[in-house]
Amino acid sequence: MKVAVVGATGLVGTKMLQILEERNFPVDELIPVASARSVGKEVHFKGKAYKVVSFADAIAAKPNVALFSAGGITSLELAPKFAEAGITVIDNSSAWRMDPTKKLVVPEINAHTLTTDDKIIANPNCSTIQMVVVLNPLHKRYGIKRVVVSTYQSVTGTGKKAVDQLMGERKKAVEGSLDAYPMAYPYPIDLNVIPQIDVFLDNGYTKEEMKMTNETKKIMGDDSIRVTATTVRIPVMGGHSESVNIEFEHDFDLQTVREILSNAPGLVVVDEPSKQQYPMPMDAHEKDETFVGRIRRDESQPNTINLWIVSDNLRKGAATNAIQIAEYLAAKGML
């Protein structure tokens, strides 16, 4: 099994290497890939150093699978070249997600739709993934009419530059440091909240918000589900959080809802208000599961529930989900 990690030196690429090792994915030969400026650099996997190679060298090596986390422009240009060489691409960018000829996959929901003909497979947006793994089992039981979601998203979702901005601002505030730091955002992020993720569109929503709306429908295979989102960047590191209000077609029993979620793959229910137990980013950090709590009936209208969902956005929201797709394909003999 030859495995290429494209974008191996970035935040998500580094996390992919870590998770491939943790989950003991059957890697016989690792091919770390990055842009020209990173070729020759070393990455480490299972105690061994590997030199980063170029895109052309990676294609020539004919890996079985290429895990892409190199940005949308790179994916649009290079994923088809890998696919033409017979390499299965699992892409973490937004490049292929809404392409009607490509599958958008969360393994717990729709991995069964994959075939050997799917050579470019899209990994959904991080905030969408953690939401749909909760929505899907509830939709099967009660039928979802409408979802209202507000997100509280980690700076790690933006990348290293944003992490450096947050840490630089914090160091300046605490120590009076005069060290320069990059600005990933147009405003300070420490002690602040920025209600914008990605660019604004003509309808007044951001691209991130419309991703959640459109990707949810595609993954769950139901265009009748209405989704409206407000996505917000906050100064935390461990993962993304979401306040989700769900209106069902049918009434529900809260205890049954908890049982459905407790038995759903990839979910952990943390919901003990009397003990002040609920999911938080610091608890989800470096974990593959999605955590759900604050489960309560919406008393303002019928058949509606409120939930709080937390997940590590670099893991289940990106790297882990991609590797779970690869694990499914390998188990089915499709790689």
Catalytic residues: 126, 240
Helix 320-331 crosses helix 11-22 at what angle (to 10 degrees)? 40
Q: Is 38 helix (H, G, I), strand (E, B) or coil?
A: helix
* C-alpha dist (Å) from residue 103 to 89, 121, 209, 217, 295: 11, 6, 20, 13, 31
Q: How far is CA 135 from CA 257, 266, 268, 288, 307, in A?
A: 11, 12, 14, 17, 10
Side chain identity, residue 249: E
* Burial letters 203-235, b for 16+ CB under 10 A, else e: eebbebbbbbbbbbbbbbeeeebebebbbbbbb
> Token pair 């980013």 is at which residue?
281
Which tokens sit at 74?
A: 């790179």
Query: Which residues face 91 on adjacent strands?
Result: 68, 122
- What single-letter DSSP state applies at residue 51? E
Amino acid at 232: V
Give the Cβ contact number of residue 22 at 10 Å: 13
- State the CB neighbour count (10 A cutoff) for residue 255: 9
Identity at 118, one-letter amino acid code: D
- Please state, in angstroms and rounded to a whole number, the distance separating the CA atoms of residues 161 and 144: 38
Query: How far is residue 90's CA from residue 326's CA, in Å, rounded to a whole number?
Result: 8
